[in-house]
Structure 1
Amino acid sequence: MKKKRNLSILFGASLVLAILAHLFFLKEWTQGQYMVGPNDGLQQMMTFKKLLYEQYTSGNFFYAYQYGLGGGTYSQLAFYFSTSFVFIITAVLVFLLEWIHLIETPDIVFWAKAAVFISICRLTLIIFMTTYVFRYMKCNWLSAFIGAGVYGLSIMYYRHVTYWEFFSDAFLWVPLLVFGVEKIIREGRVGWFIVAMAITLFNNFYFAYVNIIFIVIYIIFRWLIQLESNETSRRSQLKLYVSGGLISFGISAVAFIPAVYGFLNNYRPSYPYAIKSFDFSDNILFLSAYVIVPALVLLFLFTFSLYKMKTFRLFAIMSAVFIFFHFSPFVASAFNGFSAPQYRWEYLLSFTMGGAVAVGLQYVNKISKKGIGLSSIIVISLYLVVCYLDESLPIASFPVISILCLLIATITLLFLFIWKRNRPRYLLLHIGVLLTCVLLANVYQYAISEAGSVQKVTKSYLLSDRYNGKEQRELLQKVKEQDAGSFYRIDWKVGYLNNTPIVQDFNGISAYSSILNQDILFFYLYDLNIDMGRESVSRYATLGNRANLYSLFQGKYMMREKGNPASVPYGFKELMESEHYTVYQNSNVLPFVRTTKQVFSEKDLENAPVLKRERAMLEGVIVANLDRTNANLHDVPNIINKTSIETVGASYKNNKLSVNEKEGGIDLIIDKPDMATRDYYVSFHLESLAKSQGFALKVNDYRTTRKHNQSIYKTFVDDLVIRVPKANKISIRVPRGKYILRDLALYKENYHTLETAKKTATKKSQVNWVDNKLTITYNNQNNDRYMMLPIPFEKGWELSINDEQQPLKKVNYAFLGFPIKDGINEIKLVYYPPFFKISLAVTLISILLTLLIIRRGKGKKEQRRKRPISGVCAGLSRRR
């Protein structure tokens, strides 16, 4: 009863502390401003929550045609929320509130409003669980609570929640993992370790990787620093870690395996630059964006008498090691899968610092005046030296003054207690430390709100034409009312907001996510060289204003701001307009289901220009891993030799372009324009020789941007193809600088192939698509060989034709296709996440095995309880 009462008090205290730690954003919430970053926070976090909530509550757990060009959300969004326990629990609660009509159908505004309250609930659990773990490690309740506050209220928590909310879930599982390890070490019980590992692996594969690295390091330190005299032997521990880890992996398999496959099926170019071993430029005492080391932590680290306490020694040495790791980009790369350095792991340092504070406060009464005096001198000297050496940080700046004030306040509280050790001063010290954490947390929230532009995320912004304007939504609704079809796509996004289709509820042609279908990315980057208007490894958008591609892949409508008709592809006619926007309709869009006799080998088109590949897809189908082509294609001649090149504000020689004016480049003057030509395709290889300067490229009226050479988001794909409406001159313009410009080529397109494909297209199929199941009835009367669908190819699709299982093919570089039979074809396509069925079986078997182990363990415990009783009874009978 007392234990339940203590836990209830702890939970209440954790909730109060979590609320105090969000005071700034709670105040902002009352003024219509939200705890959401303006970039990834809005473009990904809130957007994917909206998408997944709508899917899950409608019973669709696996696939969304609306996601980019279509994709498996369970696998591709596992990096975000699709398997997140916090999101799943939140979604259930929100659904219940919606079901009983306490809230309206959740939209982006709802999720933005809810962000701060979800964060408070999450932080409450973090503080509660961490306190319990520190308490289990023999800290008193108050010290454990303060240590948990140091961990939970670290600046990285607010950075993660605001910009990349799902990152912050990782804070929950670290104390749980440590608890599981300590249970094995102290009691030889593996249950909690299995639970912690299974949750970690299920919840998010990326942070499972980070957390497992941490827990391995923790186990090594625990083997080196034994805290109890009767700990489980290392051999027995190792057996429990391995067996528990395998069972945990089995339990989590249904989420972990599809998620890892989604990650492996993504494409990120390898980081091409050397990674430094060390970089000491980040100021972790005053102004780091990742972690601020609390003054109390440093004061305890330099109080050498505390190292006699083994638990303090454990956390202090680990904190020192992780502080050292912080300054190593190589370590940051290792925690990021040995790719580009990313400092997402710093919450682990916050946990060990929290542990050091908890144990240090537990034994603060053992610190001598001399010990704290020496520690204070060292720490004050360290702060002053760091302040002096950091030339970017003026001594009179707010960060310096505020941090030094907190340092002086902390030292004063310590001296007050150590000079006169009594209960009131002991409590004052703890309250003071807690208040400094709360103050620092709220100051940091203010800092990211101002410097990180979080303050612009307001309700008015979310409903403005910069994000989700009423005029935009109404015009899109008119399109949907006029065309009740399910499969057409609308090319529209607000600025660089590639996930606009999800926000505004239509099928679009863009996506922004860290995990995308590799085949789609290759389709854009390498196979068709489609320029997206913005270079990025984690985005795709539009179809390069190329009419052939729009017609092939259901690009039926295009919405654009008024004033730029040059960006509208051939064959698109004005359909409707509003005050600021115009909708165009594609008059040459091809059917959703297409069939053909003509089959082209991907290998045979390996060196063909992209225009020839487009025409091959219009005339037939391009199939990967095919031995030979059964049809012929007309060559597409390169007419670059029929143009003359003139420089403008630049010099161009030996493939090197030097622009010496604000903007310059070359003009391609077309000698004798063909009357039948509608568009030109100009292709070239373009590299900037500047080390870290991005630039804008203009080709006539078309504009795109290229990343600088040091960017971790650069594709390093510098072969570009730009569609240009027919003109006598093609101008290529870049800003002042030096570039490599080579492999110039020019092709003309008259769209005869497209128009022929449109005239000969048939619409004899019946299509029905519900969630992850697609059925097609097609009468193949023309003896066609292949059917092609504008659905991205990915592992997980299963095909049966007339109730017979058939293999699927990757066709047209990235899409679904398959051979068909003569006559009636009853086609059924079903999508499940990759390896879903086998991983589900592994999960169920592992859960069953775990239950059997638990039952067996309980049986043995019962036998041990009965043995003394039976022994006593036997003794009594013998006496008789």
Structure 2
Amino acid sequence: MLGYFIFRQMYPFGKSSLLTVDLGQQYIDFFAFFRRTLLHDPSNFFYSFSKALGGGMLGEWAYYLMSPFNLLLLFFPGKALTAGVLFLTLLKYGCAGLSFAFLLRKTQFQRGPLIPLFSTSYALMGWFIANQLNLLWLDAAIFLPLIIYGLIQLLTNGKSRLYIWLLGLMLIDNYYMGYMICLFLVFFFCWHETVYYQNFKNVLKNLWHFCLHSLAAVGIAAVILVPTFFSLLDSKGQYTQQSISFKFEYQPLKMLSKFVIGSFNFEQMPSGYPNLFIGSLALIGFLLYFLNNHFKLKERLASMILTVFLFFSLCFEPLDLFWHGFQFPVWYPYRFSFIVSFWMLFLAARSFKKMPLPSIGKLAVAAVLYGSLLCYVLINIKKFTFLSKETLFLTVIFALFITIILGIFAYSYPKHLKLAASLLLLVSIAELGTNAVYSLNNLSYLTQLDYSQPATALAKNSRELKTLDSSLYRTGQVYSRTKNDGLANGLNSGSYFSSALEKSIPDFYGMMGNPDGDNYVTYSNGTIVSDALLGMKYFITAKGAGEITSRQPLTPLTEKPDLRTYRSVTSNVLTQTYRNSNALGLGYVANRKLKTLKDFSDNPINYQTQWLSAAVGATENTRYFQAVDFNEVIFQNVNQQVNLTDATLRRNDLSKEAQVVFKFTPKTNNSYYLTLGPSLDSDNVSFFLNNRQLNQYNTFRHATIVNIANHSKGTEVILTAKFKKQLLWLNNFVLYQLNNKLAKQQIRRIKQQPVSFTQHSQRSLTAKVNVTRPHQLFATTIPYSKGWHVKINGRQVSTYKIQGTFLSFDLPHGKSRIQLSYWPPYFGIGLLISLVSLFGTFLVSWWIKPKRRRKK
């Protein structure tokens, strides 16, 4: 694999990098956060204001960052982090092969050249290659053989320490993949007890040991598992599948296509078939196992039952959901297929142990079955866009080589057994390497420059702001590399991408007019009102990003003409930073009307209006935004409409381009915003602002707000909508003018009762406030959590949720000192369970050792 990376010029060996899809858009930023937390700010372990608007981080660490391998990344600062990712990937390939080799050697399933043969098949199996970019999952493939060996030791010799510690460490490392391994351990236990059955009493004894030691491992990991479980109830747990269809997700025979070389490409990531490639020899060995009469019929039947169950799990919806915790995976389907590949390789290695070289008859049967598989793929190859006749031909060639070697040396067994094993090793490594090359060549990767330029610029912006202002605030982005820029660089940017994002945050962003999804939010579409209320004190923009001829290497995230009302404070070669004097802090004194603020669906203008009015105690009829008409609308190859909002436009001539040009000339220097419904995303229409591409986030599932003018009095603004399909629905398409003066007056009213934060960290805040009006509460834009505890003048007070999202509490009249502190919910309980489990494990181990010595 190192040879392949060097050949592909992966950094530090060239200009490319390993970054692709989630590795480049998500994990690399988590790794930067990992380094920053351990080296500079350990309080980020429990809580971070860089997580969207703020949030508990223990669940994020449990899913993304608890791998002990990540410590290697501490030696790769800044832009060299991509080199650390490469070496981390290589290390995991090596450790996967090593752990399977350990299992083979300790169980005496194999010896000599067949150990590296099967261990390399395991390390370079299709699942590992396809998920090379999902570094956080690869540990599961490393731990699985070791845990299985520990379980075998527990059931055969009563030795428990290896099993307990390895399973406990796996659950701490990644609870999600650990859950899948735990399920397989149950099935493997049943298989083992069937194969090695002695008497019912022994089965009960082993069952007791299995349950007891498994619970001990879970107990050791409870310090992570317990708080993570409760945090999941607010995030992924909200999306648990409520109804299950008893159906096949695809025609089951189609998964046979994944045994062919190069059976992976980008299209297989969001929705594909399970990755099962293990190489021709391993597949032939797996087939031969069931023909091998050296194994009792009882064992082969038990293995067949488990095999059938595993393969049905790969295509039958209820079983698929069962392995994934009753949630359909978002991208990367059939994530547990590494367990199926392990099982096949386990049986294949076991088969060759008792039958070093198969008889010609059995080999012929296996060859016919394998040939039938390849014939099926050839006949249906047009249905598999990820395959080509070239890769199928290569698979056939390697299969023939291996079959011929097995057939020739079967006659001379055992005289030339070592030579046969060596030849099989060479051919298998060539086949596995070929599959890796063809599979990984199907993906595109970020160049090192694509990563290093924005990463370096963001790091520089972060340092400049920390020098300029050491208080607690949020920083909006007008350029970005990913949604986790803030997380990677210590900027509270309001954007975030994580599989464990609390559901209330996307719900809030959707109401506010910003892009959101089940696992991400992007603060890209703020208004002067939302910028102020959310405490967006600074904004960083790329210089010249709005110019048609700009060669700016930083990618614009959004339009932000409102920056003309903010003050420039710092500047460098690539970026400029503006200060928003309207910004409130993360907490402010507000009227208690905010308690009764209603939810608004697809009406962000109304939501922001009601939020500001409720905060100051104004009447509900106060209007900050006013709908305005376009001066001129030109329909080109489109049916004309008088009323634009929610109108459906149709392309007249399907063979020609269609577009609508909207023109207006602002009569004031106020801010102008356009609302766009979800049907106006980049899949349906391309927007151009004054003859250049509109900078706007591509997809959104609720109405979003686009800032298109500010300080543009008398200057014509031209917006062009170019059709991508036959129909275009102008869902929530409305142009608004903000009364900037009125909005700023209301914001200044809130500031008349200032909140002064005297101390702050990621998990504790201290503030002083003087309440001068009746019926006031302390409103924060910190997401509500049971982990936040509040004291006013030294006395504990109750908290509650406002706006369905934020932390709040009542305030007494006059001067108050407020202390907020965060402690992860249920962390104390989990820590206690872990300590008790550790003490119990050591105590039992200390008590059992002398008894074993006496027996010996």
Question: TM-score band, normalised by the shorter chain?
Answer: 0.7 to 0.9
- Higher alpha-carbon deviation: 302-311 or 241-250: 302-311
Distance (whole Å) between structure 2 residues aligned to residue 393 and residue 743 of structure 1: 40
Instruction: Map 1:685-704 onto structure 2 (within 5 A).
Output: 686=679, 694-696=683-685, 698=687, 702=694, 704=696
Distance (whole Å) between structure 2 residues aligned to residue 366 and residue 605 of structure 1: 70
Distance (whole Å) between structure 1 residues aligned to residue 807 and residue 369 of structure 2: 66
Instruction: Map 1:796-875 onto structure 2 (within 5 A).
Output: 796-861=787-852, 864=855
Instruction: Map 1:580-729 onto structure 2 (within 5 A).
Output: 581-602=575-596, 604=598, 609-621=603-615, 632-636=619-623, 649-651=637-639, 656-660=648-652, 664=658, 678-680=671-673, 682=675, 684=677, 686=679, 694-696=683-685, 698=687, 702=694, 704=696, 717-725=701-709
1:438 corresponds to which of 423, 426, 429: 429
Distance (whole Å) between structure 2 residues aligned to residue 205 and residue 396 of structure 1: 37
Check conservation: 2:52, 2:496, Cα contact below 8 A. yes
**1:51-101 deviations in whole A, cap 9, x for unaligned?**
1222123433212223333322222342211x33333x546xx4xxxxxxx
The Cα of 1:520 is off from its aligned counterpart by 1.6
Q: Which runs of 5+ in 1 are unaligned?
A: 1-20, 95-102, 623-629, 708-714, 866-880
| 3-state SS, counterpart of residue 52 of structure 2 | coil
Counterpart in the other structure of 2:37: 55
Counterpart in the other structure of 1:512: 497
1:351 corresponds to which of 342, 348, 353: 342
Q: Does 1:86 align with 2:69?
A: yes
Counterpart in the other structure of 2:533: 552
Distance (whole Å) between structure 1 residues aligned to residue 38 and residue 209 of structure 2: 36
Distance (whole Å) between structure 1 residues aligned to residue 362 and residue 508 of structure 2: 65
Counterpart in the other structure of 1:736: 725
The Cα of 1:748 is off from its aligned counterpart by 3.9
| 3-state SS, counterpart of residue 455 of structure 2 | coil
**1:309-328 deviations in whole A, cap 9, x for unaligned?**
25677667645654454445
Counterpart in the other structure of 2:271: none
Counterpart in the other structure of 1:567: 560
Q: Does 1:418 align with 2:406?
A: no
Instruction: Map 1:211-610 onto structure 2 (within 5 A).
Output: 211-223=181-193, 225-227=194-196, 229=198, 233-266=202-235, 276-279=248-251, 280-282=253-255, 283-286=257-260, 287-289=262-264, 290-303=275-288, 305-310=291-296, 318-319=306-307, 321-323=309-311, 325-328=313-316, 331-340=319-328, 342-365=333-356, 367-391=358-382, 397-422=389-414, 425-454=416-445, 456-458=446-448, 460-464=449-453, 467-468=454-455, 474=460, 477-494=463-480, 497-525=482-510, 527-528=511-512, 530-532=513-515, 536-561=517-542, 562-564=544-546, 567-569=560-562, 571-575=565-569, 577=571, 581-602=575-596, 604=598, 609-610=603-604
Counterpart in the other structure of 2:153: 183
Counterpart in the other structure of 2:554: none
The change in CA–CA distance for 1:379 and 1:120 in structure 2 (over 3 A counts) is same
**1:533-578 deviations in whole A, cap 9, x for unaligned?**
xx64332222413111111222223233425385332633455555
The Cα of 1:228 is off from its aligned counterpart by 5.7
If the length of structure 1 is used for normalisation, what is the TM-score? 0.80
Check conservation: 2:121, 2:282, Cα contact below 8 A. no
The Cα of 1:41 is off from its aligned counterpart by 1.2
Q: Which letter does structure 2 place at the counterpart of 1:199?
A: L
- Higher alpha-carbon deviation: 853-862 or 340-349: 853-862
| 3-state SS, counterpart of residue 64 of structure 2 | coil
Check conservation: 1:600, 1:631, Cα contact below 8 A. no
The change in CA–CA distance for 1:829 and 1:232 in structure 2 (over 3 A counts) is farther
The change in CA–CA distance for 1:373 and 1:276 in structure 2 (over 3 A counts) is closer
The Cα of 1:703 is off from its aligned counterpart by 5.1
Q: Which letter does structure 2 place at the counterpart of 1:539?
A: Y
Distance (whole Å) between structure 1 residues aligned to residue 782 and residue 390 of structure 2: 55
Check conservation: 1:475, 1:577, Cα contact below 8 A. no
Distance (whole Å) between structure 1 residues aligned to residue 109 and residue 148 of structure 2: 15
Q: Which runs of 5+ in 2 are unaligned?
A: 265-274, 548-558, 711-715
Counterpart in the other structure of 1:41: 23
Distance (whole Å) between structure 1 residues aligned to residue 748 and residue 702 of structure 2: 36
Distance (whole Å) between structure 2 residues aligned to residue 76 and residue 295 of structure 1: 39
CA root-mean-square deviation: 3.8
Q: Which letter does structure 2 place at the counterpart of 1:25?
A: F
The Cα of 1:591 is off from its aligned counterpart by 3.6
Check conservation: 2:637, 2:651, Cα contact below 8 A. yes
| 3-state SS, counterpart of residue 221 of structure 2 | helix
**1:28-48 deviations in whole A, cap 9, x for unaligned?**
456236762323112222221
Q: Which letter does structure 2 place at the counterpart of 1:278?
A: Y
Check conservation: 2:476, 2:523, Cα contact below 8 A. no
The change in CA–CA distance for 1:585 and 1:427 in structure 2 (over 3 A counts) is same
1:71 corresponds to which of 29, 44, 55: 55
1:158 corresponds to which of 129, 132, 150: 129
Distance (whole Å) between structure 2 residues aligned to residue 487 and residue 849 of structure 1: 46
| 3-state SS, counterpart of residue 197 of structure 1 | helix
Check conservation: 2:59, 2:231, Cα contact below 8 A. yes
**1:705-755 deviations in whole A, cap 9, x for unaligned?**
665xxxxxxx7x344444543778876654223355556666542034431
Distance (whole Å) between structure 2 residues aligned to residue 258 and residue 314 of structure 1: 38
| 3-state SS, counterpart of residue 78 of structure 1 | helix
| 3-state SS, counterpart of residue 288 of structure 1 | coil
Instruction: Map 1:192-207 onto structure 2 (within 5 A).
Output: 192-207=162-177
The change in CA–CA distance for 1:160 and 1:546 in structure 2 (over 3 A counts) is same
Distance (whole Å) between structure 2 residues aligned to residue 377 and residue 685 of structure 1: 53
The Cα of 1:418 is off from its aligned counterpart by 0.6
If the length of structure 2 is used for normalisation, what is the TM-score? 0.83
- Number of residue pairs the alignment of both structures matches: 798
- Higher alpha-carbon deviation: 660-669 or 551-560: 660-669
Distance (whole Å) between structure 2 residues aligned to residue 510 and residue 742 of structure 1: 25
Distance (whole Å) between structure 2 residues aligned to residue 578 and residue 115 of structure 1: 29
Distance (whole Å) between structure 1 residues aligned to residue 621 and residue 228 of structure 2: 43
The Cα of 1:168 is off from its aligned counterpart by 0.3
**1:265-293 deviations in whole A, cap 9, x for unaligned?**
22676789977433344512324222314
Q: Which letter does structure 2 place at the counterpart of 1:553?
A: L
**1:839-872 deviations in whole A, cap 9, x for unaligned?**
111111222222232233335435656xxxxxxx
Distance (whole Å) between structure 2 residues aligned to residue 78 and residue 822 of structure 1: 42
Check conservation: 2:154, 2:163, Cα contact below 8 A. yes
Check conservation: 1:413, 1:429, Cα contact below 8 A. yes
| 3-state SS, counterpart of residue 594 of structure 2 | strand
Distance (whole Å) between structure 2 residues aligned to residue 292 and residue 273 of structure 1: 29
Q: Which letter does structure 2 place at the counterpart of 1:500?
A: D
| 3-state SS, counterpart of residue 805 of structure 1 | strand
The Cα of 1:362 is off from its aligned counterpart by 1.1
- Higher alpha-carbon deviation: 51-60 or 477-486: 477-486
Distance (whole Å) between structure 2 residues aligned to residue 608 and residue 124 of structure 1: 51
Distance (whole Å) between structure 2 residues aligned to residue 841 and residue 396 of structure 1: 56
